[in-house]
Structure 1
């Protein structure tokens, strides 16, 4: 089944379970569907082979999940040349990857944390953390490989995110460094980016994957986009308006240029200078509502 067909079937399944959902249409994104039911949010990306989930897209997906307080999943059929086993989780670059059958079970259980039957079969370690700890210890890849009984090539592949890791090898590395080497989404939920005085009392994190330049979070949630060509922004604006309608979010465009229009296709446009001059979230909400 093509990923496009799986996505259409996935959207119908999500709706059948009573979720409010928004599907990305007409532009590329690191996710395809955002769904919410009874305060529980899920974010899905549908691809045929989960090896296609890149390091960059996975990092953006983890950040988006943290800011939406959502569980994130890549839904696929295969990895390498093997089928994904139903009821099992494959963690790639810190994102849960599941089969189409397991996807249905996730919808029933709301979150993977509550679905105790799911077992993590394969995962990828936090390669950047391994590399950082190795360098802090003054070790080469060859040195670390000898210490833990692995090959130099394995260390390279784990650090660069090019290989899955077995539970046995992960334990060797974690025992050596004395800490978990798994991805921790909490690090993204607590990021306060220095983007101006308007960040006072709010959290912002850079996503840098369309359609989000940044996401902000205070009493409300703010999706922040960049300016692009008119055709692209029309599609983004349609998606932004749905975020406002379905989830009561407050999306807007942020630009370094002089603002000639207060909104584009119904989505507010705010210049960086005005944005930086705002004192608090109330001022931001007032400006967005006014525009």
Structure 2
């Protein structure tokens, strides 16, 4: 199956699950392929045939964007090296959950979460230790008796009751002996720590125009988190609002990026602005407002920019 086919399948699943979905991102470089939201659940989804293709830099940006959007990054794939991804199992790459398309469908459309995760050495299950202990004691089974049934040590049973995870084989045996479900569902909606202050000013590889424009965003009161592999240059935010922020000289490529930013802003419930030079007047591309840098420098604070965005969008109805 091609990556594009796999992405199309994921989009159809999201549509059936009543997610609002952005356009597909076909702009390079890209750290994700599509954004999706249902209620308070926001997903940044990347599709790879082989999940080993997820690099450290891309995963770092996916995690960082997920924090800024208050969402979850997910990778959908088919293989890990030469081995197919198991159904109902979650694989972690740099902390990001990776699943096959069937597991993705089960979780978000059928609302059946996975029970298994992959780790060095095989597939494992998170045991509900409290239930294990309560059921064992209610059935008057000693640690030693249960250990004998499973051909493990008493210490191993005690560790399972205290939260140690088990292999699939051990988990199935425990459930069979005690006649009780013991596997905890895996929550794929992982949350990551907030980006630190040191991540705001990553301008080492920024162009002079980026440094100048994003510096102006800071001057009028925004915290600015620069991106390296997203179709926008930064995500800017004040206390209450987030703004997808693009920076470039005006060109046809700007229009393409602005259209995608508009669709993502709709999904993520953010504003979208593209700061440009060499443009005769400001204009809209969908819900993205193209603002001349000289006009931005004339603003006093972040509220002035947000007011400008609202006025320009209302004036044109959000159309090009």
Question: What does residue 241 of structure 1 align with?
Answer: 262
Q: Which residue of 1 aligns with 2:192?
A: 185
TM normalised by structure 1 equals 0.67
Distance 1:106 1:23 in 2: 22
- Whether the 8 Å CA contact 1:63–1:205 is kept in 2: the answer is no
- How far 1:6 sits from its partner (Å)? 0.8
Aligned 8 A contact 1:66 1:185 in 2:
yes
Shift of 1:41: 0.8
Alignment: residue pair count:
229
Bigger shift: 192-201 or 217-226?
A: 192-201
Q: Which of 223, 229, 238 does residue 203 from structure 1 map onto?
A: 223
What does residue range 108-119 of structure 1 map to in structure 2 within 5 Å? 108=109, 115=113, 117-119=115-117
The residue number in structure 1 matching 2:310 is 289
Structure 1 range deviating more: 75-84 or 262-271: 262-271
Q: In structure 2, what is the Cα distance between the partners aligned to 1:272 and 1:193?
A: 21
How far, CA to CA, are the matches of 1:242 and 1:283 in structure 2?
Answer: 23
Q: Which residue of 1 aligns with 2:185?
A: none
Cα distance in structure 2, aligned partners of 1:289 and 1:122? 51
Alignment correspondent of 1:67: 68
1:244-269, CA deviations, whole angstroms, 9 ceiling, x for partnerless residues?
Answer: 444442111124x4553313635323
Q: 1:91 Cα shift?
A: 2.0
| 1:237 match: secondary structure | helix
Quick check: 1:53–1:92 contact (8 Å CA) kept in 2?
yes
Question: What is the aligned partner in structure 1 of residue 7 from structure 2?
Answer: 7
Q: Which residue of 1 aligns with 2:80?
A: 79
Judge conservation of contact 1:259–1:269 (CA < 8 Å) in 2.
no
Describe the shift of the 1:258–1:2 C-alpha distance in structure 2 as closer, same or farther (beyond 3 A): closer
Give yes or no for contact 2:237–2:243 (8 Å, CA) kept in 1. Answer: yes
**Contact 1:33-1:44 within 8 A present in 2 as well:** yes
Structure 1 residues not aligned, in runs of 5+: 124-166, 168-182
Tell whether 2:271 aligns with 1:250: yes
**Greater Rg by CA:** 2
Equivalent position SS for 1:105: helix
8 A Cα contact 1:202 1:216, kept in partner: yes
CA RMSD across the alignment:
3.2
Given that 2:25 and 2:32 are in contact with CA atoms closer than 8 Å, whether structure 1 keeps it comes out as: no
Report what 1:92 is aligned to.
93
What is the Cα deviation at residue 7 of structure 1? 0.7
The runs of 5 or more residues in structure 2 that have no matched partner are: 122-164, 166-189, 202-213, 313-320
Change (3 A) 1:7 1:86: same
Distance 1:284 1:118, change over 3 A: farther
Contact 1:197-1:278 within 8 A present in 2 as well: no
Q: Give the conservation status (yes or no) of the 8 Å contact 1:206–1:215.
A: yes
Kept in 2, the 8 Å contact 1:89–1:121? The answer is no
Return the alpha-carbon distance in structure 1 between the equivalents of residues 198 and 273 of structure 2.
20
1:21 to 2:28 alignment: no
Q: Structure 1's 287 and 102: CA in aligned 2 closer, same or farther, altered over 3 A? A: same
The 8 Å contact of residues 262 and 285 in structure 2, kept in 1 or not, is answered as: no
Question: Is the CA contact 1:89–1:122 (under 8 Å) kept in the aligned structure 2?
Answer: no
Alpha-carbon distance in 1 for matches of 2:45, 2:261: 17
Give CA deviations for 1:8-28 in whole Å, capped at 9, x if unaligned: 111011000111111324423
**Are the aligned partners of 2:85 and 2:100 in contact in 1 as well (CA < 8 Å)?**
yes
3-state secondary structure, aligned to 1:227: strand
> Within 1, Cα distance between the matches of 2:95 and 2:280?
41
